[in-house]
Chains A and B, each alone.
Chain A
Amino acid sequence: MPHEELRESVPVLTFPRQTLVSLLVFAIVWETLSHLAPYLGIPPFAIPSFVRIARSFTTITPIDIAVTLARVIAALLVSFVLGLALAMAMYRSDSLDKYLHPMIRLLMAVPVVSWILFAVLWFPGVEFRIGFVLVVVCGPVFLIDTLDAMRGVPRDLRHMMQSFRPTTWQFFLKLMLPAIVPTIFTSWKVNISLAIRVVTIAELVGAVTGIGHQLSVAQELFSVADVFAWTLVLVALLFLLEAMVARAEARVLRWRA
């Protein structure tokens, strides 16, 4: 079956030789620098050896990873549902689109740091602050992407569908939603990367749990090894989420040639 072949051929968690070589070169350079640091006038804690970093990995607390992961996933789900619902409403109503579009663009232009400061000043609860920042940053991306995708659905297909007289709900469910699925996956991939970065900054400010908080502690202790270890965890988390989305994408979009 061609679909089976397609599914098997999707490179989700494979590392080509070039990637391994470049990672290895980086590791060798880092390790060498860590040994040469005292002779180069660099403080020893600035470039810790991999043995020291490995020791930091033993102090990684899974609960902080789980908390960050839960925050990211919950916020992405809320952002997606809100973004999709608003995109559907804006697609249906030109006047709503005309009123909301400038506001959405404005929201997207506000820097993440400003949102964090607003959240700290406006809301007392830490979880709500983090959730607010994530949703206000990721929601508009989902909205704009899905709205653009809906507008890009070929006129011929919309015309065909309308000729069979669907209800509004059927029109969205049977045509628009499946037609924009590829864009939705792309949007998820972009937003996962965005959310991981934003959640870290948001947790740095005021949170007492999560990877961002642990990074803040590591900074207070001047422990580059801990920062390195937690950063690697973040990167691994990002790759894992992206791989999961890519796998789901390959499965859902197996109809594509």
Chain B
Amino acid sequence: MTGPPPIEVRGLRKVFRQTTTGQSVVAIDRLDLAIAPREVVAIVGQTGCGKSTFFDLMIGLEAPSEGLIHIGDKSPHADFDLFRGRIATVFQQDRLLPWRSALDNARLPLELIGLPEKEQRERALTWLNRLGLGQFTNAYPHELSGGMRQRVAIARAFAVEPDILLADEAFGHLDEVTAAELRDTFLKLARECGSTAILITHQLEEAIGVGDRIVVFGKSAKLLADIHVADWPKSKYRLLREAIQSTLQSNRPDPRLTQAANARSSPRKRGPGKKGSTSGR
């Protein structure tokens, strides 16, 4: 098994032109980031900081204005079709097709990659069962609760057994108990699958609870902090939370985060821009 390829983001810039005013808006300004295979990275940032633009660039639906995103040595935008079945997404809303049953929704990406129908069915059923929806495979989305629908969306993403899983505020709209439960399931399955997972969130608890790393975006996706959660003992999670919050509020790295990053990089003689490590938790 080869495993997922590393992700490299270098000098990434994305500029949009506003249709009404014609003015240019810099959504992402010179972002450098490296993500190692199988890493679980949470990206946090305030609303409008460029998280969703980064998400679209990672999927390959948008082209960078400058710089590059490479997955392995390929671009998710320029080599769009090469990534069919290798990148899967879970969105904030479930985005299930209302005319398809849970089973048919879960097997949608398998149809797109052209698997034989029997295999599509078996794989979709397996994932629905793993997500506790074995009794609801024939139910239509409107017959399911919000949490169940999101489970179907997760099953749909995992069904292709992707190299890279992207989740954009995937649990933010659910109640706290359901969200926590789904987060755990998502994380467990991502680790079992050996996928690289990138979760975009504005909830710090979620980021700390899920990610191997937390990447903090400031305005225009400026990289304010790159935190390896393993460096922080559980007893200091509250401190970590405060430091991230202060970073987001001031749009400047909090000294507590800088100290932790320095302490990490010194003994290992890492360069300041080198962030692509895996960290077991």
Contact call A178/B95, Cβ cutoff below 8 A:
no
Contact call A164/B112, Cβ cutoff below 8 A:
yes
Contact call B88/A160, Cβ cutoff below 8 A:
no
**A99 in contact (CB, < 8 A):** no
**A174 in contact (CB, < 8 A):** yes
Given contacts A164-B108, A175-B97, 20 further A-B contacts (CB under 8 A): A2-B143, A156-B93, A159-B91, A160-B89, A160-B95, A162-B59, A163-B61, A163-B87, A164-B84, A164-B160, A165-B60, A165-B80, A165-B81, A165-B83, A174-B108, A174-B111, A178-B99, A255-B98, A255-B99, A256-B98
Chain B residue numbers with a CB within 8 Å of A243 are none
A38-B107 Cα distance, complex, nearest whole Å = 74
Chain B residue numbers with a CB within 8 Å of A2 are 143
Contact call A178/B88, Cβ cutoff below 8 A:
no
What are 24 residue pairs bridging A and B, where the CB atoms are less than 8 Å apart in the complex? Answer: A2-B143, A156-B91, A156-B95, A160-B95, A162-B61, A163-B59, A163-B87, A163-B88, A163-B89, A164-B84, A164-B112, A165-B60, A165-B80, A165-B81, A165-B83, A165-B84, A165-B85, A165-B87, A174-B111, A178-B99, A179-B99, A255-B99, A255-B140, A256-B98
Q: Residues of A with Cβ closer than 8 Å to B?
A: 2, 156-157, 159-160, 162-167, 170, 174-175, 178-179, 181, 253, 255-257
A3-B81 Cα distance, complex, nearest whole Å = 38
Residue from A163, A175, A255, A256 with most neighbouring chain B CB atoms (10 Å): A163
Binary contact readout B141-172 vs A (1 if CB under 8 angstroms, 0 otherwise): 01100000000000000001000000000000
**B218 in contact (CB, < 8 A):** no
Closest 4 CB pairs of A and B: A160-B95, A165-B84, A163-B89, A257-B142
A178-B99, A257-B142 known; A160-B91 Cβ under 8 A: yes
Residue from A157, A165, A166 with most neighbouring chain B CB atoms (10 Å): A165
- Nearest CB in chain B to that of A160: its residue: B95
Chain B residue numbers with a CB within 8 Å of A157 are 95, 97
- Nearest CB in chain B to that of A166: its residue: B112
**B211 in contact (CB, < 8 A):** no
- Nearest CB in chain B to that of A162: its residue: B61
Contacts across chains A and B counted by CB atoms under 8 Å: 57
CB within 8 Å of A: which B10-34 residues: none
A179-B98 Cα distance, complex, nearest whole Å = 9
A2-B143 Cα distance, complex, nearest whole Å = 10
- Nearest CB in chain B to that of A175: its residue: B97
A49-B270 Cα distance, complex, nearest whole Å = 102
Chain A residue numbers with a CB within 8 Å of B93 are 156
- Nearest CB in chain A to that of B162: its residue: A164
Min CB gap A170→B, angstroms: 6
Chain A residue numbers with a CB within 8 Å of B95 are 156-157, 159-160
A2-B143, A157-B95 known; A164-B61 Cβ under 8 A: no
Chain A residue numbers with a CB within 8 Å of B111 are 170, 174
A257-B142 Cα distance, complex, nearest whole Å = 7
Contact call B143/A164, Cβ cutoff below 8 A:
no
Residue from B59, B93, B99, B109 with most neighbouring chain A CB atoms (10 Å): B99
Min CB gap A15→B, angstroms: 31
Min CB gap A49→B, angstroms: 52
A170-B84 Cα distance, complex, nearest whole Å = 13
Min CB gap B68→A, angstroms: 19
A156-B81 Cα distance, complex, nearest whole Å = 21
- Nearest CB in chain A to that of B109: its residue: A164
Binary contact readout B80-118 vs A (1 if CB under 8 angstroms, 0 otherwise): 110111011101010101111000000011011000000
Min CB gap B162→A, angstroms: 10
A2-B143, A156-B95 known; A165-B89 Cβ under 8 A: no
Contact call A164/B88, Cβ cutoff below 8 A:
yes
A162-B80 Cα distance, complex, nearest whole Å = 10
A165-B81 Cα distance, complex, nearest whole Å = 7
A165-B88 Cα distance, complex, nearest whole Å = 10
A165-B80, A181-B99 known; A170-B112 Cβ under 8 A: yes
Residue from A156, A174, A178, A255 with most neighbouring chain B CB atoms (10 Å): A255
A45-B88 Cα distance, complex, nearest whole Å = 75
A157-B91 Cα distance, complex, nearest whole Å = 10
Min CB gap A113→B, angstroms: 41
- Nearest CB in chain B to that of A173: its residue: B111
Chain A residue numbers with a CB within 8 Å of B87 are 163, 165
Chain B residue numbers with a CB within 8 Å of A160 are 89, 91, 95
Chain A residue numbers with a CB within 8 Å of B160 are 164
